[in-house]
Structure 1
Amino acid sequence: MKTEAVIVSAGKGLRFTEGKKKQFFLLADKPVLAHTLNKFEVCPLVHAIHLVVSEEDMDYCLKEIVEKYRYRKILHVVPGGERRQESVKNGIDSLSKDTDIVVIHDGVRPLVTKGMIEESIRSAMEYQAVVVAMPVKDTIKMVNPDKTVLKTLDREFLWQIQTPQTFRAGLIREAFYRATQDGFVGTDDASLVERLGVKVHILPGSYTNIKITTPDDLILAKLFLQMASD
């Protein structure tokens, strides 16, 4: 079966204050985005990569990421949209027509493992829709607008959803088409599939598979990377 990846890296990086977007910050002498792309480049089950970046970053990514690190699997560098959902849709629209499985991953999750990617693909072949996730460790409370606690949620049934999120190609195409038609905006890709009445399966991942959104996350990622290399 043919598998293609959509790597979404069109974020504006508003939580970083040094004038550089989070996906381009150096992590062990290499941009965060390059670490992420490496994992998909070396995964034998991934046949092609579609990289989604903001339009203003397209030339930079082509020269400083794609060409510099000689990625051979990147078929397209696609301009993103105003929201993540629009960016993912643009990536899905660029997929090959004969693609069977689609892996969607955040460009700022550089600590994803080859094993996670491969297991996601195999699981999607069986279950149609699979998301990597981990059980919530902290107590989660629902809060009123005035910042008072409404209730405490049962942690036993709560999972922290990550990426990759992997789907049968026809299913995720239909999910995005329906969402666009209905004007629905979800907080992740799986929420669009859930609207179709399709069960989304959980694949346990890792607490180190963090999304880099703040400078503190970058410090953590450096520590995790160092621990993995020791």
Structure 2
Amino acid sequence: MHSGTTGRWTPVALSADLPAKTVMPARIGAETIAIWRSASGQAAASADRCPHRGMRLSHGFVRGEALSCIYHGWRYAKAGNCLSIPAHPGLTPPEAIRVATFPVIEQDGLVWVGKDTSEGKPTKLDGLSPLRSLTAAATIGAIETAAGSSADADGLLKPADALGGLCLLLSDLSDGQTLMHVLLAAESTPGERIAASRFAEALRRRAETAAMEGAQS
């Protein structure tokens, strides 16, 4: 996940930020996708575009085990096939009507999305727990400079002056932006969590300032 790639699996969101029966936009590099959780708690990911009129599915709604487009209510299963078309209630939608889907793994409190069906698992975050996610208007390189340290091959970065066991899990959004997942030791105290959140915000500001100054020079 370091530098120009997020690798086979991309950490797109915290599991806690995706309650049952909700949908939200996420990014895999430059591509916007829709991630959603069914009523039974299963996470899914699809292309963020309804095949009917191109409306963003991340603007839609979840009912039961299906994702519905907000425009005309076309309903899609986790597998991507169209389940129903409200304007034609007696019609069984053809198999050709479907939305592209992506593999999803929930692990260590994060929702990971893959780009293909090859084998492999997301990197393990042994002993670390996600605190929050931030989007920085800065590249991974600018964040590394601000942090005074480098991310490893899995995108994990330990800032030089970090408090306690704070780490960042970085995901390149391919447009000069980076998604930062703030990680802490699972047994951290409320005070440590507040301090870590403030530290991450300050680091983001330093990286964004450096990126802006670099663009203007």
Q: TM-score, normalised by structure 1?
A: 0.29
Larger radius of gyration: 2
**Could you say which structure has the higher strand fraction?**
2
**Could you say which structure has the higher helix fraction?**
1
Higher relative contact order (CA 8 A, sep 6+): 1
Q: TM-score, normalised by structure 2?
A: 0.30
